[in-house]
Amino acid sequence: MTEKSITKEIIAKKFPSNEVMLDLKDLKKVYPTPKGDYVVLENLNLQIKKEEFVTIIGHSGCGKTTMLSMIAGLNPISGGNIAVLGKHIKGPGPDRGVIFQSPSLMPWMTSLQNVMLGVNQVFPHASKAQRTDVAKYYLQKVGLEDAFYKRASDLSQGMQQRVGIARAFAIKPKVLLLDEPFGMLDSLTRGELQDILIEIWNKEKITAVMITHDVDEAIFLADRVVMMTSGPKAKIGDILDIDFKRPRTRKSVLEHDDYYKYRKHLIDFLEH
């Protein structure tokens, strides 16, 4: 560990909420095509502070998912860089947990085994009982205390995504990346899962970046909503601070005077 990052760690302990957790600098993504390069993202700069929840909104195909998978390390970077706590990322790793759009559980494993797969990897020195406790704790948190030993393939889509949430939190990542995790669910289940997500998040305060198409979801969950311009050469178009107090309830958010102001701001951006 370099001297600089040690100092940063000390600063992080003293002023947790001002530390930059995730730093995207001049990020660029180019896909070569037979007709020449296709530039998806260009000059994308974004700093996300520790314990901040950021949602990203933008039109389909603008490169949101590309950006997120670059942060996850699953998609190579064409230009610029991404740093977590000042350290440039090299490929994927469990310090950046991902909740995918499809639950991506191993269907032949039980929900407990699915969570354990990550926990075993991150806490190799803990005893088996301790690891099982961690996995069970998070499964309980997402309301699956009765489904530890159910096979993932026997769970409903919504329940599978709950396991996905438990798996992501259980590995205690520095950054949580959510790629439209509720996009495939019906609106009732979506609401339930948003509540569960925000409840766990309030406890764990893991820096989160979430892609969504849903304006209400973006406002309800986020400290900041990042609006991306349409591609090609997408970049950040606008950023909206959401000043609701935490912990939030759906009711208090909906009844807040600023809610419709925020909503109008986002919809105006998306309609232009």
Partner 1 sequence: MKASLTLGKVSDFLGLGIFTTLKDLFTGKLEKEDFKNFLRKFIVPLASIFLFLGMWHLGAKSLYNIEAEFKIEKALQDQGQVAADALKACIASGDSSCQPNTLPSPAQVWESFQSLLRDHNIISADKAAFIEKTAALNEKRIAAGKDPIVYTGRPSFVDQIFRSLQTVFAGFFLALLIAVPLGVFIGLSPTLKSAFNWFIQIFKPVSPVVWYLLVFMIVKTVLIGSTEDSSFTISFISVGLCSMWATLVNTAMGVSTVDKDFINVAKVLKLGTFQKIFKVVLPSSLPLIFTGLKITLSVAWMVLIAIELLAQSPGLGLFVWEEFQNGANDSNAKIIVAMFAIGIIGFLLDRIMLSIQNWISFDKQDAI
Distance, in Å, from the CA atom of 220 to the CA atom of 77, rounded to the nearest integer, reads 31
Among 43, 104, 229, 230, binds partner 1 (CB under 8 A): 104
Starting at the earlier edge strand, list the strands of the sheet with 36-49. Answer: 36-49, 20-33, 79-84, 87-88
- Counting contacts by CB under 8 A, is residue 106 touching partner 1? yes
Contact between 171 and partner 1 by CB under 8 A: the answer reads yes
Query: 107 preceded by cis ω (within 30°)?
Result: no
Among 51-59, 90-98, 217-225, 243-251, which window interacts with partner 1 (CB under 8 A)? 90-98
Is 47 an interacting residue with respect to partner 1 (CB under 8 A)?
Answer: no
Under the binding rule (CB under 8 A), the answer on residue 63 touching partner 1 is: no
The reply on whether position 162 binds partner 1 by CB under 8 A is no
| The only residue of 118, 161, 210, 242 in contact with partner 1, by rule CB under 8 A | 118
Residue 31 in the binding site for partner 1 (CB under 8 A)? no
Widest pairwise Cα distance in the chain: 56
Q: How many residues bind partner 1 (CB under 8 A)?
A: 24
Is 91 a binding residue for partner 1 by CB under 8 A? The answer is: yes
The nearest distance, CB 102 to partner 1, in angstroms, is 6
Residue 187 CB, shortest distance to partner 1, in Å, is: 24
Which of 51, 192, 216 has the alpha carbon at shortest distance from 225? Answer: 216
Q: How far is the CB of 181 from partner 1 (least distance, A)?
A: 13
DSSP string, 131-143: HHHHHHHHHHHTT
CB of 135 to partner 1, least distance (A): 13
Q: Report the first-to-last Cα separation within the chain, whole angstroms.
A: 46
What distance in Å separates the CA atoms of residue 161 and residue 163, rounded to the nearest whole number? 5
Q: CB under 8 A: which stretch of 4-12, 58-66, 87-95, 130-138 binds partner 1?
A: 87-95
Contact call for residues 30 and 37 (beta carbons, < 8 A)? yes
- The answer to the question of residue 97 lying near partner 1 (CB under 8 A) is yes
CA distances from 134 to 28, 34, 125 (A): 38, 49, 13
Task: Name the pairing type of β-strands 224-228 and 236-241.
Answer: antiparallel
For 29, phi and psi rounded to 5 degrees? Answer: -135, 125
Q: How far is the CB of 188 from partner 1 (least distance, A)?
A: 25
**Smallest gap from residue 9 Cβ to partner 1 (A):** 22
Q: Considering the complex, state which of residue 36 and residue 91 has its C-beta at the smaller distance from partner 1.
A: 91
Looking at beta carbons only, is 63 or 118 nearer to partner 1? 118
To partner 1, the closest distance from the beta carbon of 108 in angstroms equals: 4
Q: Are 111 and 103 in contact (CB under 8 A)?
A: no
For residue 169, the tally of other CB atoms under 10 A from its CB is 25
Q: What is the DSSP letter of 59?
A: -
Residue ranges binding partner 1 (CB under 8 A): 72-74, 91-94, 96-98, 100, 102, 104, 106-109, 117-118, 121-122, 151, 153, 171
